[in-house]
Structure 1
Amino acid sequence: MNQNRNRAVVMAVDDDENILTVLEARLENAGYTPLLADCAETALEMLADNMVDLIVSDVKMPGMGGQALLEEVSRSWPHIPVIMLTAHGSIPDAVTSIQTGAADYMTKPFDGHDLLQRIASMLESNPQKKTVDAPRLDKDFWGGEAPAMKKFLGLLGRVAPAEANVLLLGESGTGKERVARIIHENSPRSGGPFVVVDCGSTQPTLLESELFGHTKGSFTHAVKDKKGLIEEADGGTLFLDEIGNISPEMQTRLLRFLQERTIRRVGDNRERTVNCRVVSATNAGLQDMVRSGDFREDLYYRLKVVTLSIPPLRQRMEDVPLLARNFAAKLCEEQGRTPVEFSEQAMKRMMEHPWPGNVRELQHAVEGALVFCSGNTITPEDMQLEILETPQSGDDSLSLEDNERKAILRALEHCNWVKKAAADELGISRRAIHYKIKKYDINVPE
C-alpha cells in the first residue's frame, strides 16, 4: 500500500527485467514512487491495492498484454493516464493505443529524459485526488474497529470510485449485498439504479428471461415485451449474487455481455447496448469450479477484475461488543422499550462463540435475546446461543487473501525459499511473487 501520497505513484509494466530496472531508477531519481509489474495481470492486481497516478506500459507482453491492460484501465480507472511503449516503427500499435485511450506513446528504444518530461507534463495537467473519502457505512452493521475490518474498508474505499467489475467473496451472513450497495453508493454511478439478481434462488429456466428480458410470444406465457434486469441496470450497478450457481449456457451469455456490453432479449434479433458496472458475489469456491470445468475461466477473470474478501466475524472479534450494543440500541428504539445492557457473562459468551452465521447471526441473536430478557440486562441465558464445535480459525477460512498467503508460504517452503522456483510452481511471474511476499509481509529467510 502507498503510504506517502506526497509523491506521485507511477506504475511501470514491462516483461523485460532490464527495462523495469532502468525505469525504477529513473522514476526514483525524479522523485516518484515506482510500482513495477512484469505482466498485465500483476499490474491489475496492484491497481486494486494501490493508488496510482500514471502508468507506463509496454504493448507486447506475454499473457493479457499491454493493449488489453490499456482497455481495462480505460474502462475501470479512466482517470489514470497511460503512456504506451511500442517497438520502433510500429505505427499501427501506436494508433490503436491512442484510439483505445492512451494519453501518449513512445517508441523503443526511448529517451529517458523525454519520458520523464512527458510524465511530469501529464501529472501537472491531470492532478489526481491524493486521498480517498471513506465510504458511507452503516456503523450498526460494520463496526470497523478490528484491524481486519479496517483493512477491508480501506480497500473498499479505493475500489468503489473506480469502474472495475468487482467479485465479492465471503461466507454467508457477512453482508455481501450490503458491500455491493456501498460500492454503488460511493461510485460515479450512485445516481443510477442498483439492481439485485439472486442467481441462487432463481430457477435456471427463468434466469435467462429475468436477466436478458424477452419479447411477446417468444415462449408460452410471454404475453408482452419485458425488459431484463441487465437492461434495468443501465447507467447503474448490477449485483449478481451467488454467481457460481448459473448454468453453462448462462455463463456463455453473460460472458458475451461483459465482452460486448450488448444484450439480446429472448426471441429478439436486435442488439441493445447496456452500460452498467457488474458486482458479483459468491460463497462458493469459484477457483475450484474453474479447475473442475464447472465455471468458465474467461468469465471468471471478467468478473474478478477486482476481488474483495469480506472478513468473517470470527476474524474480527474486536467488533462484537460494538455491533451487539448497536443492534440492541436500534432494536430497543424500534420497539419503544427501555435501553438494555449486556452482562459481563453475556458479553464473554458472545466473545467465545464462533459465529458461523457471521454478523447476521449476531443480529438475530441480539433480537432473540430481547424477547427473553425480562429486565434491562441481557444475560447468557437470554442469548440462546448453541454450543458449536466450529473452529474459530484455521484452514477452513474462506478468505481469498488468507488462502493465497498460505499457498505462497507452502510453495516457498517446498522450494526451500527459492522465490523463482516457488513462482514457477504457483504459475506466476517472479515479479508477482515478490509483490505478494511484500503484500502479505512474509518473512523469507536469507
Structure 2
Amino acid sequence: MNKPLALIIDDEPDILELLDLTLGRMNVQTRTATTVAEAIDLLARQQFDLCLTDMRLPDGEGLSIVRHIQQHYPATPVAMITAYGSLDTAINALKSGAFDFVTKPVELQRLRELVNTALRLTGPRQKADAATADDDPILGTSPPIQQMRRQILKLARSEAPIYISGESGSGKELVARRIHELGPRSCHPFVPVNCGAIPSELMESEFFGHRKGAFTGAVADKPGLFQAACGGTLFLDEVADLPLPMQVKLLRAIQEKAVRPVGTQQEETVNVRLLCATHKDLALEVAEGRFRQDLFYRLNVIELRVPPLRERREDIPLMVRHILQQLAARADVDPPSVHPDCMERLSNYRFPGNVRELENILERAFTLCDNDVITAADIQLNAAPVPGDETDLTQIDSLEDFLDDIERKALTQALEETRWNKTAAARRLGLTFRSLRYRLKKLGLED
C-alpha cells in the first residue's frame, strides 16, 4: 500500500523540519516548498493527499494557494498554518476552502489530529459519491433541496464551524447529522444538545463536565458534552438561547480547543467539530445585544440555510407517502391512500411548523381516517387559497372589511412564524418596523 503524500509550504526551515519529521513518523511522505510559485508547480506535477501551507510566504499569501487548490484540486484537503491569535486569518482560510487550520507554535498533538482527519477524507468522499436517494434521509427532489444536498457534500469535507439556519421544524438536526455522516468524523460520536433545555446553573457542568465534590450533588466525576463528542461532532441546537455568561465560556473553549471541568484548574484538550443551529435571526440577536458578536463571528464561518417546506411544495407528495409508510410500518399495517383533494390541500398549505407540522398532521389523520383513505376532513386543515382562484364576490359585504381580514391573517401568520418577534415579522412581510406597528394598531392586534 502506498504511503500518503503531503505537500508542506513554509519558508521557515525550523517549521519545515518539524512538520517533515512529525509526518514522517506518521508514515506520511512529504514534499516541501518555500514559495507560492514552487507550490503551484509541485501541485501541477504530483497528486497530493494533503497540503499544509503557511499564511505568509515570500512571493504571496497562503490564501492564494488555498483558492488555487479549491479551484483546481478540490479533492485535496488543505490546512492553513497561522500565527497564534490570528483568528481572522483562520476564518478567512476556512471561508476560502481550507478544511482546517493550525496555529504557531505548532502543537504536535493538534497537528497529528489534523493530519489523521485529513487523510480520512478519502473514505467519506467515496461514501458520498456512492450515496443515493435510497440512503439519504433528506427527502425531496426540488431545486432548493438539490442545492442543499450539493452544499452538504462540500461542507462535509471541511472542519469549518457551520451555522445551520432555518425555521422551527424545518429539519436542521437532520441536516447536521447528514454533514457528520458524510464527513471524516463519521466513525465518532454525533452529540446533539438543545441549548434552551439546559438550566443555566447546570450549563457549565453539562458542557465541560465536573469533578467529584465540585458542588453539592457532584458525587462522581462526570464528562461534559465536549468530552462526549471527542473526535466527532457537537451540534448546538437553539444556540441563540445560551445566556451571555455561557457564551463567553463557549467562545474560549472554541478558540483554545480545550475545556476546564468545574472543580479543577486543569484544562483538557478537546477535538470536536462544531455545528450550530437556531430558528432565530442570529444577526438580529447580535444587533440587539442578546448574542456576542465575537461568538457569532466564530460560529458563523459558513452558513447553510435549510429551506422551509413552503419553498419546496413539489416535495410534499413524496414526504406524505414516506411519513405514512413509516407510520404504517410502526403499526404493522398497510399505509392508507390519500385522496387527491387532501393532497391538493396539503400542497397549498403554508406549514408554519414545516416538516414537524406535516408529521403531526399525518399522524393524527392516520389515526382518524376511515376505509384506509385519508380525506381532506381527516387532516383538519384550512387550505391556503390556490393562486389563480377567483374571489366569490357574493360572499363580500364590505371590501374594506374583506381586505382588513386578509391583512389581519397575514400579520398574525407572520408573527406566529417568528414567535411574535415584530422586527423579524416586519422583515418577512417587507415592511418597516414602524409600518408594522401602525397596521397592528389599526387592526387591533397591538399588545
Q: TM-score, normalised by structure 1?
A: 0.62
Identity of aligned residues (%): 36
Question: Which of 76, 99, 104 is the aligned partner of 1:76?
Answer: 99
Q: Which has the larger radius of gyration?
A: 2
User: For residues 257 and 369 of structure 1, what CA distance do their matches in structure 2 show?
Assistant: 46
Partner of 1:146: 142
| Cα distance in 2, alignment partners of residues 315 and 298 from structure 1 | 32
Please point out which of 238, 241, 265 is paired with 1:242. 238
Task: Give the 3-state SS of the residue equivalent to 1:195 in structure 2.
Answer: strand
Following superposition, the deviation at residue 387 of structure 1 comes to 5.5
Residue 321 of structure 2 corresponds to residue 325 of structure 1 = yes
The equivalent residue for 1:195 is 191
Residues 1:339 and 2:335 are matched in the alignment: yes
2 CA distance for matches of 1:203 and 1:47? 43
Q: Which moved more, 1:235-244 or 1:333-342?
A: 333-342
1:114-133 correspondence runs (5 A): 133=129
Whether the 8 Å contact between 2:70 and 2:97 is mirrored in structure 1 is: no
CA RMSD in angstroms, aligned pairs only = 4.5
Contact kept? 2:229, 2:272, Cα under 8 Å? yes
Alignment partner for residue 160 of structure 1, among 156, 159, 171? 156
Q: Distance in 2 between matches of 1:295 and 1:178?
A: 25
Q: Does the 8 Å CA contact 1:135/1:157 hold for their aligned counterparts?
A: no
Give the residue type in structure 2 aligned to 1:275. N
**C-alpha deviation, 1:142, in angstroms:** 3.0
Residue 349 of structure 1 corresponds to which residue in structure 2? 345
CA distance in 1, matches of 2:162, 2:150: 15
- Whether the 8 Å CA contact 2:78–2:99 is kept in 1: the answer is no
Among candidates 175, 187, 205, match of residue 209 of structure 1:
205
CA change 1:213–1:130 in 2 (3 A) is: closer
1:266 is aligned to 262
Deviations along 1:310-355, one digit per CA (max 9) or x if unpaired, are 0000000000001101111222222122332111111111111111
Contact 2:94 2:100 in 1 (8 A): no
Q: Does 1:183 align with 2:179?
A: yes
Identify which of 273, 277, 280 aligns with 1:277.
273
- The count of aligned residue pairs is 323
Whether contact under 8 Å (1:174, 1:313) holds in the other structure is yes
Aligned to 2:20: none
Distance 1:71-1:184 versus aligned 2 partners, 3 A rule = closer
* Alpha-carbon offset, residue 68 of structure 1: 6.0
Gaps of 5+ in 1: 1-22, 31-37, 79-92, 102-125, 408-446
Counterpart secondary structure, 2:280? coil
- Partner-residue secondary structure (3-state), 1:380: coil
Q: Do 2:309 and 2:355's aligned partners in 1 also have CA atoms closer than 8 Å?
A: yes
CA contact under 8 A between 2:99 and 2:159: conserved in structure 1? yes
- Specify whether residues 66 and 221 from structure 1 end up closer, same or farther in structure 2 by C-alpha distance, changes over 3 A only: closer
Q: Which amino acid aligns with 1:340?
A: P
Given that residues 211 and 230 in structure 1 are in contact (C-alpha distance below 8 angstroms), is that contact kept between their aligned partners in structure 2? yes
User: Does the CA-based 8 Å contact 1:140-1:326 persist in structure 2?
Assistant: no
- 1:205/1:161 Cα in 2 relative to 1: closer, same or farther (>3 Å)? same
Letter of the structure 2 residue corresponding to residue 175 of structure 1: G
The superposition leaves residues 37-69 of structure 1 with CA deviations (integer Å, 9 ceiling, x where unpaired) of: x997xx99x979x95869899x99xx9765664
Q: Which amino acid aligns with 2:371?
A: G
**Paired residue type of 1:269:** Q
Q: Would you say the 8 A contact 2:189–2:233 is kept in 1?
A: yes
Q: Residue 383 of structure 1 aligns to a residue in which SS?
A: coil
Q: Tell me what 2:15 maps to.
A: none
Query: Does structure 1 residue 302 correspond to structure 2 residue 325?
Result: no
Q: Distance in 2 between matches of 1:178 and 1:131?
A: 18
Change (3 A) 1:222 1:47: farther
Q: CA deviation at 1:386?
A: 4.5
1:173 pairs with one of 157, 169, 179: 169
Q: TM-score, normalised by structure 2?
A: 0.62
TM-superposition CA deviations, 1:282-317 (whole Å, max 9, x none):
011110111222211111121122211000000000
Q: CA 1:251 to 1:66, structure 2 compared with 1: closer, same or farther past 3 Å? A: closer
Structure 2 match to 1:256: 252
Cα distance in 2 for residues equivalent to 1:131 and 1:185: 9
The DSSP-based 3-state class of the residue aligned with 1:327 is helix
The answer to which of 69-78 and 330-339 deviates more is 69-78
| Residue aligned with 2:196, SS | coil
Amino acid at match of 1:345: D
